[in-house]
Amino acid sequence: MPCPRPVLILPLLCGALAACSSGGGTSGALDSFGDIEAYGSDLEDVVDTLDYTDPATLPAGGTARYAGVIGLDVEDIDNFEGENFDVAGELSLVAGFGDDSIDGTATNFYTPDDEDIDGTLQVDFGDIHRDADTSVEYTFDAVLRGTLENESGDLLDIDGTLLGDFYGPNWSHVAGEVEGEGCLGASCSDLDGDFVGERS
């Protein structure tokens, strides 16, 4: 069943990745928060010119691979990067049109201060909803789970959901939001974020 779309949608990546930069991004080596932020801003500029892909027109078979970025924000987590935990990382997604699946990984995370955050988040158990009404519902959703570790050895468990859509007449891009929870031991707080990607 498709997930309902919120009435108000956060600007892609501008919240989770702080103030979006105005160009200069590249899909090459992403070695800092700034690199990821710039690439995400460039991708967002493209997505802003595209309409949602009608999910009924998606292929009946085959796969599509997407490369992009993801930004995550966990508020009020004590002892892990200050009061709030903001990171940006690289996102890889695979859409399986034959079985209407979504899976992938998120990795290579950095904080705004360019602290390297270890860990890989898995994207799995995803579903493509071909009957989604894109005016009020997301086209796909998937589980986002894993553990991130800062340079001090603190472990943050992520349990979230990707909610997204395909964009363009040839499903050339994906974008959407992240919601869920981040836990440092028994201390848990709300997680939100955004992602955007292009077919690779």
- List pLDDT tens digits, range 39-69: 999 999 999 999 999 999 999 999 999 999 9
Task: Look up residue 7 and give its two tokens.
Answer: 């009435």
Q: What are the angstrom distances between the C-alpha of 196 and each of 41, 50, 65, 162, 172? A: 9, 13, 13, 11, 11
Sign for the CA dihedral angle at 87, 194, 180, 145 comes to: negative
Which of 106, 95, 123 has its CA nearest to residue 70?
106
Number of H helices, E strands in the chain: 1, 9
Task: Look up residue 141 and give its two tokens.
Answer: 């959703």
**Beta bridge partners of residue 34, listed in sequence order:** none
Query: How many other C-beta atoms are found inside a 10 Å radius of the C-beta of residue 175?
Result: 26
Residue 200 CB burial class (10 angstroms; 0-12, 13-18, ≥19): exposed
Judge contact between 73 and 88, C-beta under 8 A: no
What stretch of H or E contains 44?
helix 33-47
Distance CA 195, CA 35 (A): 15
Q: Residue 91 above 70 pLDDT?
A: yes
pLDDT tens across 121-158, in order? Answer: 999 999 999 999 999 999 999 999 999 998 888 899 99
pLDDT tens across 149-191, in order? Answer: 988 888 999 999 999 999 998 999 999 999 999 998 888 899 9
Task: Answer whether 0.85 is exceeded by the pTM.
Answer: yes
